[in-house]
Amino acid sequence: MHAVVPMEGIGIRGAVWSLASQLGVTARTQGDLVSALKPDLRRTVIVLPDLHAGIGDPADLAELVVGLASLPQVRLVVEVRTTNPLFPAFQPAAPAVMNLDETQWNELPQPEPKLDDQDRPQEYASPAPDLDVPASVCSADPVRVTAGYEAAKTDHGGLRTAWLRVGQALLQDQQPAERALLLQTALGDAADPRIAPQLADLAAGSKWELLWSRVSGDITPPWPGPVSALTLGTGPIEGQVLLSDHLGVLRTIDLASATPTGRLAEPVKSTIALSVLSEGTVVALNHEGLHAQMASQTVRTSGLTALLDDGPSPIDQAIE
């Protein structure tokens, strides 16, 4: 077996992220997982016990199972009760059904040994994580925390949003300090202001240190938008970070504070990588090749202008 996820009390995110981690791929959704596994033609065996006890929308769980079963290299073993609504949803995948209620799959009954009360094994259930307390969620089973946040009706001071934003990386085998640092990077301006200092204290033992982070919805300084590539500036833009957004616009932000400082004159669509040479030449790589321009061509903005109007869009530049 290459991946096993006991599904009792687990939602679709926890299932996908756990499977992806065990199989060495990255995926946020069930579609991402199927797409990530499709090119790898090696035989892969996946087991999902107690699928009928999973939480969340059954349609999402059915989509995961049918999608994985559609891959010819995947052998999928799923446990589900025949009375569960999920069972008929699997029929498009033409599964081979083993009904464990049939006599040939049942072993002969064995007499149970009689035990005195003091000899009976004591069952132990770990306490449920407190989803409002950073120390609790960082040290608890991350799959259980994910399930808790999936089912939650409140944002738990911003911890829920941060946890679901980070995603699969939180399920890695790591110390609570590393998990706290990851949550720090995804904590937005809207979070309870008491959460960030608690996470910072918990992350004190991490190998990394957070300088700053910006997420969607942040205002001061503003979130720069989706980033496809970035690099540290040198020469005329030393002390700044050069980044490319989803439209190919090359922007600069202050390294110390993430405040927008300007943008380059020429956008480069679908940028894969960026580099700044010592004399100020900016080199951007996309599928069409290398594109060079001088960093001195940066259009600088500041204050309210940087927040509300940081220059013409690529479409506006094309029109001009």
Helix (H) / strand (E) element for 44: namely strand 44-48
Q: What is the per-residue pLDDT for 137?
A: 97
Q: Are 238 and 188 within one domain?
A: no
**Alpha carbon distances (Å) from 138 to 144, 169, 178, 180, 221:** 11, 12, 9, 6, 27
| Cβ(11)–Cβ(30) below 8 Å | no
Number of domains composing the chain: 3
Q: What is the residue-wise DSSP string for 59-98?
A: HHHHHHHHHHHTSTTEEEEE---TTSTHHHHTGGG-PPP-
| Cβ(25)–Cβ(168) below 8 Å | no
Which string of b and e fits 2-11 if b means at least 16 CB within 10 Å? ebebbbeebb
Residue 282 is part of a domain; what is its CATH number?
Answer: 2.40.10.480
pLDDT higher than 90, residue 301: no
Q: What are phi and psi of 220, to 5 degrees?
A: -125, 100
Percentage of residues in the chain having pLDDT higher than 70: 84
| Cβ(310)–Cβ(245) below 8 Å | no
Q: What is the per-residue pLDDT for 120?
A: 55
pLDDT higher than 60, residue 312: no
Q: Which of 30, 44, 49, 97 is nearest to 74 (CA)?
A: 44
| Cβ(206)–Cβ(183) below 8 Å | no
pLDDT higher than 80, residue 44: yes
Q: What are phi and psi of 251, to 5 degrees?
A: -115, 160
For residue 14, being part of any structural domain is answered with: yes
Task: Convert the pLDDT of each residue in 199-230 to its tens digit.
Answer: 999 999 899 999 889 898 888 888 878 899 99
For residue 119, being part of any structural domain is answered with: no
Confidence of residue 122 (pLDDT cuts 50, 70, 90): low
pLDDT higher than 90, residue 313: no
* Helix/strand/coil percent split, the chain, to 5: 40, 15, 45
Token pair listed for 72: 């010819």
For residue 256, being part of any structural domain is answered with: yes
Task: Convert the pLDDT of each residue in 45-93 to its tens digit.
Answer: 999 999 999 999 999 999 999 999 999 999 999 988 887 888 888 877 7
> How far apart are alpha carbons 80 and 83 in whole angstroms?
8
Q: Are 201 and 233 within one domain?
A: no
Task: Convert the pLDDT of each residue in 128-169 to its tens digit.
Answer: 899 999 999 999 999 999 999 999 999 999 999 999 999 999
- 176-186 and 159-166 helices, crossing angle to 10°: 100
Q: Which domain holds residue 173?
A: 134-144+153-205
pLDDT higher than 70, residue 114: no
Q: Are 184 and 250 within one domain?
A: no
**Residues for the chain: how many in total?**
320
- 199 CB contacts (<8 Å, ≥6 apart)? 134, 138, 180, 181, 183, 184, 187
For residue 126, being part of any structural domain is answered with: no
- 272 CB contacts (<8 Å, ≥6 apart)? 228, 229, 285, 286, 287
What average pLDDT score do residues 261-272 get?
Answer: 92
For residue 11, being part of any structural domain is answered with: yes
> How far apart are alpha carbons 259 and 9 in whole angstroms?
43
> How far apart are alpha carbons 47 and 277 in whole angstroms?
51
Report the chain's terminal Cα–Cα distance, integer Å.
60
- 227 CB contacts (<8 Å, ≥6 apart)? 243, 244, 245, 246
Q: Are 169 and 96 within one domain?
A: no
Percentage of residues in the chain having pLDDT higher than 90: 64
Q: Are 261 and 315 within one domain?
A: yes
For residue 160, being part of any structural domain is answered with: yes
Q: What is the per-residue pLDDT for 159?
A: 97
pLDDT higher than 50, residue 315: no
**Total-model pTM:** 0.77
Q: Are 94 and 165 within one domain?
A: no
Q: Are 258 and 200 within one domain?
A: no
For residue 122, being part of any structural domain is answered with: no
Q: Is the dihedral of CA 244, 249, 255, 258 positive or negative?
A: negative
For residue 22, being part of any structural domain is answered with: yes
Helix (H) / strand (E) element for 12: namely helix 12-23
